[in-house]
Amino acid sequence: MSQTPAETVRVELAERSYDVCIGTGLLASVPTMAAAALGRSLRAASLVFDANTAPHAADLARACGPRAFN
C-alpha cells in the first residue's frame, strides 16, 4: 500500500536544493515519487544508505522491482 508523506521538508542549497519526505510506509511509494519528481527522463538512480537505513535496502529493492537494480 502506497502512502503519502506526512511531511515534506525542503533543504535549500541553491541549485542543489531537494525535498525530504518524512512519514511511515513510504518505501513502497519510492518508485512513484521518483518518477513524479524526475520525469520520464530518469534512466538510472543511486541510493545511498548508512548503518541506520541499510536494513531497509531489501524492502526498497522489492518496491522498485527486478529491473531497478540491473
* Domain-located, residue 1: no
What is the tens place of the pLDDT at every residue in 39-60? 766 666 677 788 998 888 888 8
**Using CA atoms, how far apart are residues 8 and 55, in angstroms rounded to an integer?**
23
| pLDDT tens track for 12-35 | 999 988 888 888 888 888 878 877
> Residue 10: pLDDT above 90?
yes
Identify the domain containing residue 45 by its residue range: 7-64
Nearest CA to 1 out of 24, 28, 23, 21 is that of 28
β-bridge mates for residue 18, sequence order = 11
Whether 41 maps to a domain, the answer reads yes
What sign has the CA pseudo-torsion 40, 44, 30, 23? Answer: negative
How many separate domains does the chain show?
Answer: 1
- Tell me the whole-structure pTM to 2 decimals: 0.59
CA distance 33 to 21: 10
- Residue 62's pLDDT is what? 81
Q: Is residue 42 part of a domain?
A: yes
Q: Is residue 24 part of a domain?
A: yes
Is 46 within the bounds of a domain? yes
Helices 30-38 and 57-64: crossing angle, nearest 10°?
A: 70
